[in-house]
Amino acid sequence: MTAKPFLWIYDTTLRDGAQREGMALSIDDKVRIARELDRMGIPFIEGGWPGANPKDGQFFWQIKEEPLTQAEVVAFCSTRRPGKTAATDPLLQPVLAAGTRWVTVFGKSWDLHVTEGLKTTLEENLAMIEDTIAFLRSQDRRVIYDAEHWFDGYKQNSDYALATLKAAIAGGAEWLVLCDTNGGTLPHEVTQIVRDIAQSIHLNLDPPPSPLPPIPYPSPSLGIHTHNDSGTAVANAIAAVLEGATMVQGTINGYGERCGNANLCTLIPNLQLKLGYPCVREQQLEQLSDFSRLVSEMVNLAPDDHAPFVGLSAFAHKGGIHVSAVERNPLTYEHIQPEAVGNLRRIVISDQAGLSNVLAKARTFSIDLDKDDPTCRQILQRLKLLENQGYQFEAAEASFELLMREALGQRPQWFEVKGFQVDCHMLPEQNVWRTNSIATIKITVDGRDILEAGEGNGPVSALDAALRKALMNFYPEIASFHLTDYKVRILDSAAGTSAKTRVLIESSNGHQRWTTVGVSTNIIEASYQAVVEGLEFGLLRQNRQNKH
């Protein structure tokens, strides 16, 4: 069997991905993400458009001061403007000043964009493509040509679209990247069109062993750049690869304008594990899940728990039959081993759980249960009763461990809350109202009654502060615990203000995270349940680690 060619992964998170609504990257963010991409073995990293905004220019200067270890940083720009020459167009001077070895130039493939967008002639657009690339080559730059709106242009006027690629070849482009800019093309169309191109233009379908040696001109290699407006960006990229494309452009976590770009965290495992195309080293692929979540944190966007391969739920099993089968043989409900992409198998506890779920989850808590033990049935019955009341343990595994240990008589009683009171105040301050809350709590620890008060900008914050102050002298490790997320869900909105509320609270000690749940018609009481269990579980985990 012939070995598959190496695929050159081209990341555009820092430019195309940053166009996602609600996403903003500082220069430090961009530099850090670039270094992480470099560590992950991504060979091409598009840094931005020098000259388009000051931030991108500064990014390239910072990278030059401390170069990456293996990746090529790529500057991005358009073709020269109509009626000018590339040598005299100021647009290209910042691109040269960025000092990158590689430059990606995008040009118009669709005659509609030439006449309506650029307001120029079809002949002038061809000259713009060839002149820009030739000029950059004369300045010792190597050029990737992004054929913008390629598929739409080809479907409307195939002869002209082909002429734009030939102009790029004449200028000296080493890669021709076909772009589905509007994201409206389907996989079967990509397959046929890329096949047509390979037959119409002499292409190098055997990619170079490295991006550094010159590729024999005039035989450029083929690349693919897809958007996800039809939900087929990954499938379209795979279709192009199967027809000979050897560069795949995309973004981490599929970030991008509108519906996003092809998700490299989905593409790379599919290409490497399913189709046998090497993209990164095996050890780097095993870090993919952590890398995906790290980038999510850097860009301040919540990770997609249901993302293929890298999502928290990608290998989560909820139905009792599924769990039982996976316990015997993971292949029954898993398409790959989670460890191959650095993920983990998770057994989810919910009202759909059976004994298999309870037993499997107990093992993750280092609890040895026998299926014939009556406690198993009691735990399952209690679980389903509470979930019927609105509790959600699949999202609050810390609360479920506490429930399980209580049923087994293994739940330590670190403290007992005797009662609490919360007062909320609205205070005028410079013509605006400022909220202030004070909580008073009474607890018992080791037979001693403690009365303490805490202040916060809301009732939950105040309650948390009072509880911590009361416990800190007994359990100083609580100082490292903090709330990292707070979610509220109204369970029966038709009940209006007397509706039942579910509160999920995520806590952390700086190294690990855990989630607890509370349910009540009173949002303060629901929050209190989750806050108290968050502290309890943190103490339980800390005590367990100290023993080891």
- What is the tens place of the pLDDT at every residue in 196-230? 998 888 776 665 555 554 544 456 889 999 999 99
- Give yes or no for residue 144 having a pLDDT over 60: yes
Does the pLDDT at position 426 exceed 80?
no
Residues 162, 163, 169, 171, CA torsion sign: negative
State residue 216's pLDDT score.
Answer: 47
364 confidence band (pLDDT: 50, 70, 90): confident
Name residue, tokens 């001077």.
93
- In sequence order, which residues have a C-beta less than 8 Å from that of residue 242 and are 6 or more positions away? 191, 275
Burial class (CB in 10 A: 0-12, 13-18, 19+), 294: middle
Phi, psi values for residue 325, rounded to 5°:
-70, -45
State the pLDDT at residue 1: 47
What band does 170 get if pLDDT is binned at 50, 70 and 90? very high
Provide mean pLDDT across the span 114-138.
96
Report whether 80 contacts 86 (CB < 8 A): yes
CA distance linking residue 105 with residue 169, whole number of Å: 13
What 8-state DSSP symbol labels residue 230? Answer: T
Residue 352: its pLDDT value, please?
A: 56
Higher per-residue pLDDT: 332 or 452: 452
Give, in order, the Cα–Cα distances in Å from 30 to each of 18, 263, 537.
10, 18, 37
Buried b (16+ CB within 10 A) or exposed e, 208-231: beebeeebeeeebbbbbbbbbbbe
Q: Which of 224, 300, 315, 302 is nearest to 264 (CA)?
A: 224
Residue 529 reports pLDDT greater than 80: yes
Is residue 439 scored above 60 in pLDDT? yes
Distance between start and end Cα atoms, the chain: 50
- Chain mean pLDDT for the chain: 88
Least confident of 257-271, 273-287, 530-544: 530-544
In angstroms, rounded to a whole number, what is the distance separating the alpha carbons of residues 532 and 505?
10
Output the pLDDT for position 306.
Answer: 92
pLDDT surpasses 90 at 167:
yes
Q: How far apart are CA 504 and CA 487, in angstroms?
A: 5
Quote the pLDDT of residue 157. 97
The C-alpha atoms of residue 356 and residue 346 are separated, in whole angstroms, by 13
As a whole number of angstroms, the distance between CA 26 and CA 540 comes to 39
Q: How far apart are CA 127 and CA 125, in angstroms?
A: 5
Q: Which of 22, 24, 10, 334 is nearest to 174 (CA)?
A: 10
User: Are 40 and 287 a contacting pair, CB within 8 Å?
Assistant: yes
pLDDT at 350 > cutoff 70: no
Q: DSSP class of residue 81?
A: P
pLDDT of 548 strictly over 70: no
Tell me the average pLDDT across 136-162.
Answer: 97
pLDDT tier at 294 (50, 70, 90 boundaries)?
A: confident
Q: Are strands 44-48 and 513-520 parallel, antiparallel or unpaired?
A: unpaired
Q: Is a pLDDT exceeding 50 seen at residue 20?
A: yes
Domains of the chain: 8-280 (3.20.20.70), 316-403 (no CATH), 416-547 (3.30.160.270)
Residue 483's pLDDT band (cuts 50, 70, 90):
confident
Per-residue pLDDT at 389: 85
With a CB cutoff of 8 Å and minimum separation 6, the contacts of 181 are: 148, 149, 150, 152, 225, 227
Mean pLDDT calculated for residue range 307-331: 76
